[in-house]
Structure 1
Amino acid sequence: MRRDAARVFDEYLVAAARAGDRAAFDRLAARWAPRLYRHACRLLGDAEAAEDAAQEGWADIARGLSRLEDAALFPAWALRIVTRRCADGIRRGGRERRAWEALAREPESPDRGAHAIEARADGAPLVRALAALPAEQRATVALFYLEDLSVAEIAAALAVPAGTVKTRLMHARRKLRDALEVCPEGGKYND
């Protein structure tokens, strides 16, 4: 696993928060709340329900942080908690996921991942192609490319086998490639 400075800093914040440092917990929450909210938006397709799931997830994270033995596992652990809260919300409310609305409601953030991918391609076709993906594939792609999680971390976060993550990524990449190769006039860009 690649350990960049942001991950090491998150691990430090987790360790300090586990030791009772309230400022470290607040800083961890400030860093992770937008990510967890975006993850919930991708899964639920409803901004209000996503906000509720993310807030309930943070309450679970605050209660359970002392039991997290390895600070490096925080990203997958926190995403898994929010995933469970989203599943609870789906069961409770029976709301239909709306892919277009979910992506449109996803907040803008200064995260490097989201802007880096948009900077490499014309944003509108990519946004439309991502929005057209099924929620499971959209969430998997976002966790892999935007949140920079490994296949194993995504599997833990979504509570699916690693093979399922790989399959979702493969199908999503194929759908994205096909969607981005077709130009507006009906031909292909690479012809």
Structure 2
Amino acid sequence: MNAAERALEAYLVASARLGDRRALSQLVRLRGPRLFAHAARLLGEREAARDVVQEAWVEILRGLHGLRDDAAFLPWALRIVSRRVAREITRRQRGRQLADEVAAEMDPVTAEAGPAGVDAAQVRAAIATLPREQAATVALFYLEDLGVAEVATALDVPVGTVKTRLMHARRKLYAQLKGMDDE
């Protein structure tokens, strides 16, 4: 995310907090796709992700007055979505942990274009084979371009956990992509 996009986001958050409905609408259009992509990655189901994100927006709007740093909106909102996803999974399958639920296949949320599209598709397919926690961590760090601290905030885990997940995911991805390259 570039500086101009962060500044726009901070402005929209501040304006929405003051009751500007147009700014709120723009904020939803600006960040809604990222929140949906995050929920879809975690759940593996697009329709359920839509419902979770819709519920999360209600919580986000209610909590907007408590957000102290307007520039931290995206990680904060992603954390709310993550918690909503966790509640949805718990509701669906009591007693099962998130780590036990590995997606067989994850729909790419963004379209691939250009000559690197094939490589990007292979990387996304490899990410989809990771355990959900690692896939979400990798996606937020590399695909959403969040920093380690922002990923930790979004997933509501310690920074060290994010670093560990990235380390293990990188090893698995390297081995898998190296195997594809050899074929």
Q: Could you tell me the TM-score, scaled by structure 1's length?
A: 0.84
Counterpart-to-counterpart distance in 1, 2:42 and 2:69:
26
Q: CA deviation at 1:75?
A: 1.0
- Number of paired residues? 178
Counterpart-to-counterpart distance in 2, 1:4 and 1:121:
29
- Are the counterparts in 2 of residues 57 and 82 from structure 1 also a CA contact under 8 Å? yes
Number of the residue aligned with 2:103: 99
Number of the residue aligned with 2:154: 157
Deviations 1:5-63 (A, max 9, x none): 11111111111111111111100000111111111111111222211111100010111
Number of the residue aligned with 1:144: 141
Which residue among 94, 107, 110 is the counterpart of 1:108? 110
Deviations 1:70-119 (A, max 9, x none): 10111111001000100110111129745233x22x4336xxxx769x83
1:59 partnered with 2:58? yes
- Are the counterparts in 1 of residues 126 and 173 from structure 2 also a CA contact under 8 Å? yes
Q: CA RMSD for the aligned pairs?
A: 2.3
Counterpart-to-counterpart distance in 2, 1:133 and 1:60:
29
- Are the counterparts in 2 of residues 54 and 82 from structure 1 also a CA contact under 8 Å? yes
Relative to structure 1, the CA distance from residue 78 to residue 56 in structure 2 (aligned partners, 3 Å threshold; closer, same or farther) is same
Q: CA deviation at 1:147?
A: 1.3
Q: Secondary structure at the match of 2:110?
A: coil
- Are the counterparts in 2 of residues 44 and 97 from structure 1 also a CA contact under 8 Å? no
Counterpart-to-counterpart distance in 2, 1:31 and 1:24:
10
Number of the residue aligned with 2:35: 36
Q: CA deviation at 1:183?
A: 3.2
Q: Could you tell me the TM-score, scaled by structure 2's length?
A: 0.87
Q: Secondary structure at the match of 1:20?
A: coil
Counterpart-to-counterpart distance in 2, 1:68 and 1:134:
31
Q: Secondary structure at the match of 1:83?
A: helix
For structure 2, list consecutive stretches of 5 or more residues without a partner in the other structure.
none
Residues 122-131 or 24-33, more deviating: 122-131
> What letter corresponds to residue 67 of structure 1 in structure 2?
G
- Are the counterparts in 1 of residues 102 and 131 from structure 2 also a CA contact under 8 Å? no
- Are the counterparts in 2 of residues 83 and 157 from structure 1 also a CA contact under 8 Å? yes
Number of the residue aligned with 2:119: 122
Relative to structure 1, the CA distance from residue 157 to residue 115 in structure 2 (aligned partners, 3 Å threshold; closer, same or farther) is farther
1:174 partnered with 2:171? yes
Relative to structure 1, the CA distance from residue 115 to residue 143 in structure 2 (aligned partners, 3 Å threshold; closer, same or farther) is farther
Relative to structure 1, the CA distance from residue 41 to residue 28 in structure 2 (aligned partners, 3 Å threshold; closer, same or farther) is same
1:84 partnered with 2:86? no
